[in-house]
Structure formats: structure tokens, C-alpha cells
Amino acid sequence: EEFSSLLIWSLEDHCEPMEWTLMYSICMSSLISDLLSKGHARGQMVWFQPCALHPTSDVIFLGTPLRILSYDLKGNRLEEVYRARDGVIITGCYYPAFTHVRF
């Protein structure tokens, strides 16, 4: 199961020593099943990776070469937020950037 999970950690810096806290564990198999059940990947190989975290809410953005998806970590909801035109590939999904500052 550890190989099919995406783990979201938070560095707690308000205490000494600083420590990492596991915030979310996402089952990738269920995300892929959800993606397939919505018809987003019929007849395609399913591949996606984390692209970004929303700065003010518990949402992670996942990228595929053809789509950008948002996943609400608290509500366990997967939604398509962008679909590339035919013949266009989203190259940025291959270069993830993670920036998140909690105030």
C-alpha cells in the first residue's frame, strides 16, 4: 500500500525541535478508479503526478499530459479544472513545483 499512496507532510516549526507531521495519505488506486469512473481516461494509460498545493485551502493539483485536476483533501473530491485542446500537451506537469506557506 505504501507504494500506491501519496503522502502529504507538514513541517511544524512552532515547536523545538521542528518535526514533520503526516497530514494526509491519499490512496492513488482510488484516485485512478475515480478518474476512470468519470470517463476522463478511457482507452488511455493513466499517469499523473502532483503539480502544486493550493496556498489557502487543502487542495492539491495533479497533472497529466492532457489535464489538470484538483483534489480536495478534506472532501475527497477529484475535479477536472483544465483540459488541453486536441494535439496539445501540458509540459509543465513533468516539472512539479511545491510552494506552500501557512500563515
Cell numbers for 87: 494535439
Strand, helix or coil at 69?
strand
- Residue 27 is predicted with a pLDDT of 84
Residue 77 lies in a domain: yes
pLDDT by residue for the chain (103 residues), tens only, comes to 455 788 888 888 877 888 899 999 988 877 777 777 766 555 555 667 778 888 888 999 888 777 888 999 999 888 888 887 777 666 655 555 444 455 4
Give residue 19's domain range: 2-94
Cell numbers for 94: 513533468
Rounded to whole angstroms, the Cα distance separating 48 from 53 reads: 15
Rounded to whole angstroms, the Cα distance separating 78 from 61 reads: 9
Rounded to whole angstroms, the Cα distance separating 69 from 48 reads: 9
Residue 42 lies in a domain: yes
N-terminal to C-terminal alpha carbon distance within the chain = 33
- Residue 71 is predicted with a pLDDT of 92
Q: Please tell me what DSSP assigns to residue 15.
A: S
- Residue 72 is predicted with a pLDDT of 93
> Per the structure, how many domains does the chain have?
1
Residue 100 lies in a domain: no
- Residue 103 is predicted with a pLDDT of 46
Rounded to whole angstroms, the Cα distance separating 30 from 90 reads: 24
Residue 37 lies in a domain: yes
